[in-house]
Structure 1
């Protein structure tokens, strides 16, 4: 007996099963909370007019698709329970034959759903065209974007400055991006501000975006292009008008000049941990980069995909 009193308590099989079940339920209950931060950085945390429209379309499609998924989720467990093996009174013995109400139920709702989805997708595909300028009383900020292995170069042709892995924009003002690649095809994506669009060597694509208010957002390349792909991220910083002008003045005072020779050094494969700023840029540098990759397609334009 003393030996039994001193032995550690060991739960039986039912106790261990109950413990595992409780742990699983707690983990499942906390799962939504763990993903909140991730959702804030994605399309659902929209911070600009383009992302707002994209999120609205996504939620609308989800609501429409509930009419497809909902009956399946409800009826599947009901049918499984009703025709369970132990319920011998409800054996499934179908009488095969043509049935107009059943045929209508099978075909009419899906056709209506497809038509409704097609109408909304057609409308919003044209409304969210990345080449379409954003309506605004202010002129857009021009930024030329060059995708490299494994970094992003941003050139401000009207301001004469450039940055690496840091895109600074004024809040409340549209931004027009012209994109190309100095290497393989890559995908430019800032989930909270706009959809993704491809950057391709020897070609230029376009993207229009804006931020409602000052903030810091995450951008990345979503096209796999090598071992440093997972680190090819950049920050997008939306500033007030005064802070944006102050940043431009600070950048111009940097002293570094970005010309074609500097670009060739910069384009070597590497992961740039910290942003770089250039206080001056060579005239026509972006066009030279496009022509350098494919002189025959200099000035050509191609549509990327969101």
Structure 2
């Protein structure tokens, strides 16, 4: 080992184990433990009996699947999952389609009022859901979309964050790609479909995860516009399930585990795209 290598190794070791870095590691471990503990408790409780859940001192027996069987046989939980999947999937696909087109127009096309339009869209990020819930409800009621899938899907399509993030990504793309395509006679629609969309796959995948999770976990809006039991989404179904089985936490935890599995799987399979989108777009 040379002197330079030994000095570098010693420097890295000293830098790694400084009191500040040790404190950061301890804080990170505590935050990680606090984050993982509710999930572990939910998973363990989903496979226990009601007595084992209510009495932590009781030695648990072998895991049981009866809780999941009860959830799917005594309540239409599969229907709730299907409704959430349909709504979240439809919103994600439609939102990505329209948001990408709007972001490309705001990033590349020149037309009067472009910057003002983008500023108005961006300003909607400052408006919270409770502020627009009543006007949106009145519009949906006027259109006759209460107690319908359209009423659950259409208001959730627009999201200023998606347009903003995609626009920033499109601005960072080299304009030479489009210029070469224009010289070859390609239209803006052909450029968007053949060049922009393929290059946008990482960030579109990340936005798909965000949109899907947000609509899968939607609760307030479905509660506001739906009263038909056949249109209940999974989060609303769990809330009603919890009211009915308030003392049987094992059933509630089993239902929550089933509802959480799709979100965990989506994040697990698309975590690389999320990281790549953050690096490529940079949130700048």
TM-score (norm 1): 0.24
Compare the two structures and name the one with the higher strand fraction: 1
Compare the two structures and name the one with the higher helix fraction: 2
TM-score (norm 2): 0.25
- Pick 1 or 2: higher relative contact order, CA cutoff 8 A, min separation 6: 2
